[in-house]
Amino acid sequence: MGWLLIAVMVLSDSGSDILMARGVRQVIDPPGRGLARLLAIFRAALRNPSLFGSAALGTIHLGAFLALLSFWDLSLVIPAAALDYVVGTLGARLLLGESVTPLRWAGVFLISAGVALASVS
């Protein structure tokens, strides 16, 4: 159950970030100036499906995090939650075809090894 919730946490967090990035780009540049422009951004954000989906996935992420904390140690949940960097990088490379720098691959490797060590101990 614990690792299932970690998977839910990681996937919902990555999904929320992707939808947030897409939604913000869609609503951030309406016409107008000053307060009218701010209100236009706010109205567009409320009607934007990507931002709505991002908020929903963010809520699922928080729920899974809280559920995990009810029966797992904080000292295991936090390192394990860093797996979202691994999933995010793999998703960017495999799904979006983005280039990944050697520095980022090194970070992903260290995170994976670190989570493995922390969890087996």
Partner 1 sequence: MKQHGNTNDSPPAERGGAPKVRRRVGVIGAGRAALLLIVAIALQAGGNVCLSIGMKQLGSVADITPAAWVLIGRTAVTSPMLLIGVACLAGFFFLFGYILARVDLSVAVPVISLEVAVNVAAGHWILGERVSTLHWVGTALVTVGVALVGLSARPKLEHHL
CB 118 within 8 A of CB 102: no
Q: Min. distance of Cβ 109 from partner 1 in angstroms?
A: 7
How many other β-carbons are positioned within 10 Å of the β-carbon of residue 84?
21
Q: Min. distance of Cβ 18 from partner 1 in angstroms?
A: 15
Question: By C-beta, is 47 or 94 nearer to partner 1?
Answer: 94
* CA dist list (Å): 38 to 28, 50, 51, 54, 66: 9, 19, 16, 20, 33
Positions touching partner 1 (CB under 8 A) are: 1-2, 63, 65-67, 69-71, 73-76, 78-79, 82, 85, 89, 101, 103-104, 106-121
Report the alpha-carbon distance of residue 78 to residue 94 in Å, rounded. 26
Q: Min. distance of Cβ 21 from partner 1 in angstroms?
A: 10
Question: By C-beta, is 52 or 85 nearer to partner 1?
Answer: 85
